[in-house]
Structure 1
Amino acid sequence: MAPAARAAFFDVDDTLVRVKTMFSFLAFHYRYRGEPDLVYERARDRLKSLHREGHTRADVNRVYYRLYQGAGHRALAEEGRLWFRESERSGDFFHGPAVAALREHLAAGDLVVLVSGSFYAPLDPIAAALGAHVALGTEPLTEDGRLTGEVVEPMIGAGKGRAARRLAEERGLDLAECWAYGDHASDLELLTSVGHPVAVGDDPVLTARATEHRHWGRLPGIELPSAV
Structure 2
Amino acid sequence: MAPEKQQYLRPGAFFDFDKTILATDSQGKEAEDLWKKSWEQGNYWLFLKMAWFAFFWCTLYEWGLIGGETINHVYIFLVYREIRLKDLEENGRLLYSDVLRALLHDEMLLTMKDHHEKGHAVIVVSATPVHLLQPFVDEFREIVDAMSATRIEVGVSGLPRKGVICIGNQKAVAQRRFAEELGLNLATSFAYTDHHHDLEFLESVKHKIVVNPTPQLEIIAKKREWKILRLQSHKVRKT
TM-score where L is the length of structure 1: 0.83
| Aligned counterparts of 1:165 and 1:194: Cα–Cα separation in 2 | 10
- SS of alignment partner, residue 140 of structure 1: strand
Shift of 1:213: 4.0
Residue matched to 1:140: 152
Residue matched to 1:17: 22
Q: Say if 2:94 is the partner of 1:82.
A: yes
Q: Cα 1:133–1:222, aligned 2, differ >3 Å: closer, same or farther? A: same
Shift of 1:110: 2.0
Total equivalences in the alignment:
217
Residue matched to 2:237: none
Q: Cα 1:176–1:205, aligned 2, differ >3 Å: closer, same or farther? A: farther
Moved more, 73-82 or 48-57: 48-57
Shift of 1:12: 0.9
Of 185, 190, 193, which aligns to 2:201? 190
Residue matched to 2:182: 171
Shift of 1:123: 0.5
The structure whose residues are more often helix, as a share, is 2
Structure 2: tracts of 5 or more residues without a match: 1-8, 235-239
- SS of alignment partner, residue 15 of structure 1: coil
| Aligned counterparts of 1:211 and 1:50: Cα–Cα separation in 2 | 28
Residue matched to 1:180: 191
Of 159, 164, 172, which aligns to 1:161? 172
Structure possessing the higher radius of gyration over alpha carbons = 2
Aligned-residue Cα RMSD (Å) equals 2.5
Q: Cα 1:114–1:147, aligned 2, differ >3 Å: closer, same or farther? A: farther
Of 89, 111, 116, which aligns to 1:106? 116
Q: Percent identity?
A: 27
Of 6, 31, 36, which aligns to 2:11? 6
Q: Cα 1:169–1:87, aligned 2, differ >3 Å: closer, same or farther? A: same
| Aligned counterparts of 2:59 and 2:213: Cα–Cα separation in 1 | 24
TM-score where L is the length of structure 2: 0.80
Q: Which amino acid aligns with 2:22?
A: V
Residue matched to 1:27: 32
Residue matched to 2:5: none
| Aligned counterparts of 2:53 and 2:99: Cα–Cα separation in 1 | 20
| Aligned counterparts of 1:49 and 1:208: Cα–Cα separation in 2 | 23
| Aligned counterparts of 2:97 and 2:135: Cα–Cα separation in 1 | 9
Q: Say if 2:210 is the partner of 1:199.
A: yes
| Aligned counterparts of 1:146 and 1:195: Cα–Cα separation in 2 | 42
Q: Cα 1:145–1:133, aligned 2, differ >3 Å: closer, same or farther? A: farther
